[in-house]
Amino acid sequence: MTEVLIVGASFAGLTAARELRGRDVLIVDRSPIGAHQTSACALPLRLVQWLGAEESVLNAESRMRVEIGDAHWNVRLPEEFAVIDYEACCLAIARQTDARFEQIRVVGRDGVFVLGSAGERLEADWLIDASGWRRVLDPAGPTRGSQPSLVIGTEDHVPTAAAPHADGFAFYLEKQLLKSGYGWSFPAGDHVRAGVGSFIKEPLQPPMKRLRQRDTLGAGREHHGGAIACNPRDPVAGGVLFIGDAAGQALPVTLEGIRPAVYFGAGAGRLVMRTLADDLTPAQAQARYAALHQQHLSGYARLNRIQRWYRWLPEFALKRLATKALGRPHADGHEIGFRSTRYLDVLRAEHLPALP
């Protein structure tokens, strides 16, 4: 019998598999590895380096521009951020694992068996669900896209020549664009990733249209989107470890899901590795993983509160808050320090070596 079965070959699943080198690991995904990008793929550069996926970096930035109407702030980021090629990153992590890969769409469980859509019946000592917001191994059944707590986002890849105003990492918080969420523009080599993320369920095509007009964007050559799970859910259920979006571990407000997927994926992978080396019992590993998740719940609760309030904030109040957090807006693009990094301290790359 397989020692570890991981469902989902994206950031969380591949990171967990990398921690399980030398063991008998099967990783399954409904798509080939790296074939199905949903994310804008911006993450701290140090995390890309930690993952050994530097070859996937398309662009790196140490500043971001925050724009609210005519006011803007040029903000020094607490650390350099990279925009990566999703497929190249996934393949680079996959190469560092010893896992076997099979393309299987998981449809649920039947007792100890994980079921595939073509009649596959898979069995393993350990089950790790890294299937993203769908959480396909949840004993209560997979999550539906209509779940109100899911955040939604969409993005176009616009060739650089068709994005004349793109200038570094930019976030648009103006309410005319989106009532409850934000827009972004990230240069990524030969194209710009321009998108919107909404904290509430609303059609995203109207804000995308406004974003295209705002930045006089030409036609996108690629388009993708999906849900983001920012509400923490049981990290252990029915004997399965849930990691990344499957455990609702994406960061509210910033909507960064890659950092937590890697962090919790590495944590879960290491704990399972210790059970296979007879250093921990399965019950101890499950309890420690649940404790690791629990340790961060107050940070998620704080950010989720901000995310809920955000829709009620009028733009003038938003500008006032931005001024309080980031300093006075500088129309000349003068660089200012980033004074409010507290929320970004959650799950920093330097915490990875100290995982259990």
Ligand X SMILES: Cc1cc2nc3c(=O)[nH]c(=O)nc-3n(C[C@H](O)[C@H](O)[C@H](O)COP(=O)(O)OP(=O)(O)OC[C@H]3O[C@@H](n4cnc5c(N)ncnc54)[C@H](O)[C@@H]3O)c2cc1C
Should residue 43 be labelled a site residue for ligand X when binding is judged by CB under 6 A?
yes
Q: What is the dihedral of CA 254, 258, 259, 262, to 10 degrees?
A: 160
Quote the CA–CA distance of 237 and 78 in Å, as a whole number. 36
Should residue 267 be labelled a site residue for ligand X when binding is judged by CB under 6 A?
no
Should residue 183 be labelled a site residue for ligand X when binding is judged by CB under 6 A?
no
Q: How far is CA 26 from CA 109, 245, 275, in A?
A: 16, 20, 17
Per-residue x/- mask for ligand X, residues 57 to 96, rule CB under 6 A? ----------------------------------------
- For ligand X, the binding residue among 2, 24, 36, 236 (CB under 6 A) is 36
Q: How far is the CB of 96 from ligand X (least distance, A)?
A: 16
Per-residue exposure over 87-113, b if at least 16 CB sit within 10 Å of its own CB, e if not? ebbbbbbbeebebebeebbbbebeeee
Q: How far is the CB of 68 from ligand X (least distance, A)?
A: 20
Q: Which stretch binds ligand X (CB under 6 A): 119-127, 158-166, 240-248, 348-356?
A: 240-248
Phi, psi of 6 (to 5 degrees): -115, 125
Should residue 38 be labelled a site residue for ligand X when binding is judged by CB under 6 A?
yes
Should residue 11 be labelled a site residue for ligand X when binding is judged by CB under 6 A?
yes
Contact 187, 210 (CB under 8 A): no
Q: How far is the CB of 13 from ligand X (least distance, A)?
A: 6
Contact 77, 3 (CB under 8 A): no
Helix axes 258-276, 11-19, angle to 10 degrees: 30
Helix axes 258-276, 282-294, angle to 10 degrees: 160
Quote the CA–CA distance of 48 and 50 in Å, as a whole number. 5
Q: What angle do CA 306, 195, 223 make, to 5 degrees?
A: 140
Contact 122, 68 (CB under 8 A): no
Q: Which stretch binds ligand X (CB under 6 A): 205-213, 231-239, 251-259, 291-299?
A: 251-259
Should residue 134 be labelled a site residue for ligand X when binding is judged by CB under 6 A?
yes
Quote the CA–CA distance of 51 and 191 in Å, as a whole number. 24
Q: How far is the CB of 11 from ligand X (least distance, A)?
A: 4
Should residue 153 be labelled a site residue for ligand X when binding is judged by CB under 6 A?
yes
Should residue 29 be labelled a site residue for ligand X when binding is judged by CB under 6 A?
yes
Should residue 106 be labelled a site residue for ligand X when binding is judged by CB under 6 A?
yes
Q: How far is the CB of 175 from ligand X (least distance, A)?
A: 20
Should residue 248 be labelled a site residue for ligand X when binding is judged by CB under 6 A?
no
- For ligand X, the binding residue among 21, 31, 277, 350 (CB under 6 A) is 31
Quote the CA–CA distance of 163 and 151 in Å, as a whole number. 26
Should residue 250 be labelled a site residue for ligand X when binding is judged by CB under 6 A?
yes
Should residue 185 be labelled a site residue for ligand X when binding is judged by CB under 6 A?
no
Q: Which stretch binds ligand X (CB under 6 A): 64-72, 130-138, 156-164, 266-274?
A: 130-138
Among residues 37, 29, 2, which one has the least CA distance to residue 105?
Answer: 29
Q: How far is the CB of 15 from ligand X (least distance, A)?
A: 8
Should residue 109 be labelled a site residue for ligand X when binding is judged by CB under 6 A?
no
Contact 258, 47 (CB under 8 A): yes
Should residue 45 be labelled a site residue for ligand X when binding is judged by CB under 6 A?
no
Binding positions for ligand X, 209-228, rule CB under 6 A: 225-226, 228
Q: How far is the CB of 347 from ligand X (least distance, A)?
A: 10
| Contact residues: ligand X, CB under 6 A | 7-13, 28-31, 36, 38-43, 105-106, 130-132, 134, 136, 153-155, 195, 225-226, 228, 244-246, 250, 255-259, 261
